[in-house]
Amino acid sequence: MLWSPTGSTSADAESADLFARFGEHTPVPQNMPLRSFIRQEASQWRPDGLLAFSERVAADTHAAAFELGLPATEATAVDRLRSKYQQRVRMAESGIPTPRFQTADSLQQLRTAVDIVGLPAVLKPVVGVGSAATYPVDETTDLPGLWRTAEREYLRDPRGNGRMAFVLEERLSGRNQHRDPRYGDQASVESIVQAGQVRHLTVSAKLPLARHFRESGDITPSSLPPHLVNELKATATAAIGALELDHCAVHTEFKLTPDGPRVIEVNGRIGGGVTQLLHYSAAYDVVGELAAVATGGRLARLPRQSRYAAQFLPQPPHTATHVVRVPLPEDLMALPGVVSAEVFSRAGERTDWRRGTSARLARVFAVAEGAEALLATNTELNSAAYFDFTHEGAQKDLAGLGPADAPFPTGVPTP
């Protein structure tokens, strides 16, 4: 196992101890290009395949595998998965329904993009993850203040590529297809591609986004009508073909609109938490299947989901400044259906919605025979009985937002 250290001595030591329980492992040297390091290690190990679990390292891993003659998607195709602009161009050329979009590398280009795309819109990095540095734009937005904020927050985020390149895209009007306000108006399709052949693993329903586009959870399988599930799968297949993906996992995100599903973006990985969701709902081994793709092996059956599984990501309100009460993991484990719980925050800590989805307070997995029970558990989880906050005195616009005091979390390493 090769892994990228986070920079936190304690977190990296914990990760090294964990990896050592499963096999040999090597941290990637800080100043060595990942692709070169992979090839160097491969010359000693002579692997049957290379497998990455994060889009932050997928492009270099696929490039190294391709150069070594191992099953992989060609590097330029993987680059499209990292670039929200490149993939939108390809999909638009192929007639796949996507929002209107325009790039913006400067404040002047942002102004031009607003004229072309129209309002309301969403500004997001060309290369970014977890809804970080993602902002709504409408007629009242102070564009110079927005650009300063976006620049500051993106450049301080270690998950980006350090280059100020953004996409302004049309903010789609969503329609909740579940007729239940506890669901959101988005969905995702998880797929495995081997030698260009696409196998869809599951379609997940999304819970409503927290303000500033932060994800709050998923339930799989979705309870969407069968015709809509088939349409989502067909559109995901078309997007994978347009991007010329050969050997990889794919996570395709959709907005459900009055005019039908629209592709938000395509990622070269299984969606966050989906490995666990398929384990709990279908006893399905996603990692084993991805290893088969990486080594040219034979794939197993498709998942047969016998129950529903959910991932809950409670988010702090965007007005919150500090967390004043958090539960213990065992408190969350006592909720109906919960099978796994992690708490990421501590009482007294500062909250920061600018981190995007990674501002989550906890991650909880639950299972049930029906989706209704999972929705009820999520409602209880997000009640004041478990998390409470102090709030800022008044709303601030984007121009008035100061730099966040809390550092970015150092979390788990990227294998």
pLDDT digits (tens, 9 = 90+) for 48-63: 999 998 878 888 899 9
Q: Report pLDDT for 161.
A: 59
Q: Is residue 236 part of a domain?
A: no
Q: What is the pLDDT of residues 261-308, one digit of tens each?
A: 999 999 999 999 999 999 999 999 999 999 999 999 999 889 999 999
Clarify whether residues 65 and 113 are in a common domain: no
Name the residue range of residue 59's domain: 2-79
Q: Report pLDDT for 398.
A: 38
Clarify whether residues 75 and 104 are in a common domain: no
Q: Is residue 16 part of a domain?
A: yes
Q: Is residue 221 part of a domain?
A: no
pTM comes to: 0.90
Clarify whether residues 106 and 147 are in a common domain: yes
How far apart (Å, rounded) are the C-alpha atoms in residues 70 and 52?
Answer: 13
Q: Report pLDDT for 403.
A: 35
CATH number of the domain to which 144 belongs: 3.30.1490.20
Peptide bond into 226 cis (omega under 30): no
Q: Which residues of the chain have pLDDT under 50?
A: 394-415
Clarify whether residues 67 and 132 are in a common domain: no
User: Are 392 and 137 within 8 A, CB to CB?
Assistant: no
Clarify whether residues 72 and 16 are in a common domain: yes
Tally the domains of the chain: 2
- Helix runs in 46-96, H state only: 55-67, 75-82, 84-93
Clarify whether residues 62 and 113 are in a common domain: no
Per-residue DSSP letter, 355: G
Clarify whether residues 104 and 68 are in a common domain: no
How far apart (Å, rounded) are the C-alpha atoms in residues 203 and 375?
Answer: 17
Q: Mark which of 144, 170, 196 sits at the end of a domain.
A: 170
Q: Report pLDDT for 112.
A: 98
Q: Report pLDDT for 322.
A: 95
Q: Mark which of 142, 170, 198 sits at the end of a domain.
A: 170
Clarify whether residues 118 and 160 are in a common domain: yes
Clarify whether residues 115 and 70 are in a common domain: no
Q: Report pLDDT for 53.
A: 87
Q: Mark which of 122, 137, 170 sits at the end of a domain.
A: 170
Cα 97 to Cα 101, 122, 202, 412: the distances in Å are 12, 17, 21, 35
